[in-house]
Structure 1
Amino acid sequence: MRGPLQPDVVVNAERIPARLIAAEAQNHAAPPGKPGHAWRAAARALAVRALLLQEARRLGLAPEPRDLGAGRREVPEEALIRAVIERRMQPVPPDEDACRAFY
């Protein structure tokens, strides 16, 4: 019996099953005849997600889902990812030269 064509991905001892990567690959474009491009993009996206959730656990963050409007609410995992990004990202305000260059 043969194993899967694509392996599971492991991120800091956390396994991301190939079936989840295959499901995520549907959300990533690939050139005709090159499904491996979508697979790699999906694996990368899920690896980044896993790293962000691991960081949320390391920081001891608790999810605080937000109301998204129209009766929708953020799921707990997305709330944790948002919290990590908000906590770790320090935006640098643009100076006057950068504003002038942009506009």
Structure 2
Amino acid sequence: MQSQTHRAVTVGEIIDRLSSCDRDAPFYLAINPEFPYAHFAGEIVEARDSQGGQVVFLGEAGQSEFLPPVIAQALTWHPSTVTASRSRRAVLRSADRA
């Protein structure tokens, strides 16, 4: 996993990032690198922080399905893996013949 500095993303940044996406595509949250499931997005709540500034929260509304490995890799939660060109059985059969 890559080390990164965490900071709050602004509403404008989210809008910019999503503006190029298909408006009809399903939207999910990826929550936990150790237990990677896709989650449904829930309610949006506006509030005030301790300094009186506006903050916006996107709630989680339940678990959907296991996060596809390619997504966990793109999020740098899991390392990229290289698929072996030969199966384990083929390697074992080759070893038995030697």
TM-score calculated relative to the size of structure 2: 0.21
Structure with greater strand percent: 2
Larger RCO, structures 1/2 (Cα 8 Å, 6+ apart)? 2
Given the two structures, how large is their TM-score scaled by the length of structure 1?
0.21
For the pair shown, which has the larger CA radius of gyration, 1 or 2?
Answer: 2
